[in-house]
């Protein structure tokens, strides 16, 4: 897996993303914990502000296909860095404006993610040869989740040790590091004299935005297994977003623990995802359908167990197991789609996929806070388990049988 780091451009992006994820997670832990201390209902508004821009991912994907993905990533990082630095100054000079300042920073983070995600999906296959693509994806996911884990573990302590303004400043520095990494990729590309696009591909991105969107949808629609389970994916993301948003409330009022426990739960999720990403190569020896069904069932059972846990150590262990299963599912599913989507439409296709993945998240953010007056937080975990079970059934019926090997082997032809 680590052999891909011998490629300087990939190593640069990999390091920049690790630092960026670390700083961002520090900020998220601080923001959600401080908001729920003021009022749990602020969490719904924060979730909406952060996730509504996810719906722009389809537009972002089309923009990436029209422009240079590297420069989209660069300017996106610089914009997020500037807003985080401005937020740090505002926190220091205007502490009573915490909620408003936090919402502005979260909104810019959300818009940036809707552009950066599709751009990164386009850039990564250009940095490594096809035979190293799976290893590169695995390394990016592993180190990203490890950075998130460290950020989550330090998040609770950073509030007391550093203070809110410094946490926002660190977030800004992390985006500057990521921007520097992307700038280095541009420098390496220019030094080697390689064009970003082949001459035959230059005309394509000049098509109208709507035309590009429909072209991307046609590619996505050819992945029949994905379209068949899309409603279940939306439901799963809806329930998972609710659980994630209310985790701070659950930690505070059910586990009767503080910010350190909230950070530990987020860290265990990320560490579980790191372990799952490292095990994704073993899961690739299974048929895609077998792997998705088995680990999907494990995800559902983990959520049920979490809903009845009442101690921090037990909850941390269950969340780690949940994260591992989820990472393997994502690795298999992402490999299936990445291998099936042609390079020339990859940006817009992944933009549409990201939009579908996030379409229910703003609704979950709205209903999660409102539901606190009606149902316990555990109800969202029960909904997540039920939706996972439905998705498992959908995978079982929609995915074709195939031979063992790389995750995409048995369904690529069906896309």
pLDDT in tens, 195-235: 665 443 444 445 565 666 677 788 888 888 888 898 999 99
Q: What is the pLDDT of residue 47?
A: 77
Helix axes 378-398, 224-253, angle to 10 degrees: 160
Contact at 8 Å (CB) between 411 and 288? Answer: yes
Q: What is the pLDDT of residue 410?
A: 40
**pTM for this one?**
0.67
Contact at 8 Å (CB) between 356 and 56? Answer: no
Report which of 66, 50, 43 is spatially closest to residue 351, judged by C-alpha positions.
66
- Annotate 183-210 with DSSP letters as a single string: HHHHHHHHHTT--SS-GGGSSGGGS-HH
If one counts the domains in the chain, the total is: 1
- 215: tokens are 């072209």
What is the domain range of residue 150?
A: 2-414
Highest mean pLDDT among 112-116, 182-186, 369-373: 182-186
213-to-25, 26, 197 alpha-carbon distances in Å: 32, 35, 20
User: What does the pLDDT average to over 235-239?
Assistant: 92
Instruction: State what percent of residues in the chain have pLDDT above 70.
Output: 85
Beta-carbon count within 10 A of 202 CB: 11
As separate numbers, helices (DSSP H) first and strands (DSSP E) second, the chain gives 16, 0
CA angle 196/198/199 to nearest 5° reads 120
Q: What is the pLDDT of residue 80?
A: 96
Between the CA atoms of 69, 75, 76 and 79, what dihedral angle is there, to the nearest 10 degrees? Answer: 180
pLDDT band at residue 34 using 50, 70 and 90 as cut-offs = confident
CA–CA separation, 66 and 208 (whole Å):
9
CA angle 376/316/388 to nearest 5° reads 60
171-185, 292-306, 312-326, 351-365: segment of lowest average pLDDT: 351-365
Contact at 8 Å (CB) between 149 and 274? Answer: yes
pLDDT band at residue 283 using 50, 70 and 90 as cut-offs = low
pLDDT band at residue 175 using 50, 70 and 90 as cut-offs = very high
Beta-carbon count within 10 A of 258 CB: 12
- 13: tokens are 């992006």
Phi, psi of 408 (to 5 degrees): -90, -5
Place of tokens 């729920």: 36
CA angle 117/120/125 to nearest 5° reads 140
Report which of 114, 118, 115, 109 is spatially closest to residue 172, judged by C-alpha positions.
109
In this structure, what CATH number is given to the domain that contains residue 167?
A: 1.20.1250.20
136-167 residue pLDDT tens: 776 777 777 777 777 777 776 777 788 889 99
Beta carbons within 8 Å of 236's beta carbon, 6+ residues apart: 384, 387, 388, 391
Residue 319 class from Cβ within 10 Å (0-12 exposed, 13-18 middle, 19+ buried)?
buried
pLDDT band at residue 294 using 50, 70 and 90 as cut-offs = very high
User: What does the pLDDT average to over 32-42?
Assistant: 83
Given a cut of 80, is residue 285 above it in pLDDT?
no
Helix axes 224-253, 42-51, angle to 10 degrees: 150
Beta-carbon count within 10 A of 294 CB: 16
- 208: tokens are 């109208």
Q: What is the pLDDT of residue 291?
A: 86
Given a cut of 90, is residue 255 above it in pLDDT?
yes
69-83, 273-287, 378-392: segment of lowest average pLDDT: 273-287
Contact at 8 Å (CB) between 274 and 145? Answer: yes
């Amino acid at each position: 897996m680590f052999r891909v780091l011998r490629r300087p451009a990939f190593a640069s992006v990999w390091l920049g993303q690790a630092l960026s994820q670390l700083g961002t997670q520090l900020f998220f832990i601080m923001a959600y914990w401080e908001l729920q201390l003021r009022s749990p209902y602020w969490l719904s508004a924060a979730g909406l502000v952060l996730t509504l821009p996810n719906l722009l991912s389809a537009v972002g994907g089309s923009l990436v296909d029209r422009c240079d993905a590297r420069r989209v990533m660069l300017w996106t990082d610089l914009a997020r860095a500037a807003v985080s630095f401005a937020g740090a100054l505002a926190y220091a000079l205007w502490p009573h404006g915490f909620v408003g300042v936090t919402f502005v920073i979260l909104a810019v983070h959300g818009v940036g993610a809707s552009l950066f995600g599709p751009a990164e999906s386009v850039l990564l296959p250009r940095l490594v040869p096809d035979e190293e693509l799976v290893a590169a994806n695995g390394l990016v996911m592993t180190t990203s989740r490890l950075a998130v884990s460290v950020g989550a573990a330090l998040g609770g302590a950073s509030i007391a040790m550093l203070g809110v303004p410094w946490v926002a400043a660190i977030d800004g520095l992390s985006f500057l590091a990521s921007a520097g990494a992307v700038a280095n990729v541009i420098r390496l590309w220019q030094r080697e004299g390689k064009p970003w696009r082949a001459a035959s591909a230059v005309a394509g991105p000049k098509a109208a935005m709507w035309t590009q969107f429909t072209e991307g949808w046609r590619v996505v629609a050819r992945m029949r297994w994905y379209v068949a389970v899309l409603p279940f994916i939306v439901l799963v993301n809806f329930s998972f977003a609710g659980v994630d948003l209310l985790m701070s409330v659950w930690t505070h009022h059910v586990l009767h623990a503080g910010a350190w426990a909230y950070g530990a739960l987020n860290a265990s999720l990320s560490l579980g995802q790191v372990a799952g990403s490292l095990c994704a190569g073993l899961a690739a020896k299974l048929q895609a359908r077998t792997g998705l069904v088995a680990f999907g069932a494990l995800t559902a059972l983990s959520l049920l167990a979490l809903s009845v846990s009442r101690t921090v150590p037990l909850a941390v262990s269950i969340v780690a197991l949940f994260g591992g299963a989820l990472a393997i599912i994502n690795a298999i599913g992402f490999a299936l789609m990445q291998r099936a989507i042609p390079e020339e439409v990859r940006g817009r296709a992944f933009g549409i996929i990201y939009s579908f993945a996030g379409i229910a998240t703003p609704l979950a953010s709205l209903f999660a806070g409102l539901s606190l007056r009606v149902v316990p937080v555990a109800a969202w975990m029960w909904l997540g388990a039920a939706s996972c079970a439905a998705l498992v059934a959908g995978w079982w019926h929609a995915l074709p049988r195939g031979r063992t090997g790389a995750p995409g082997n048995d369904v690529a032809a069906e896309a």
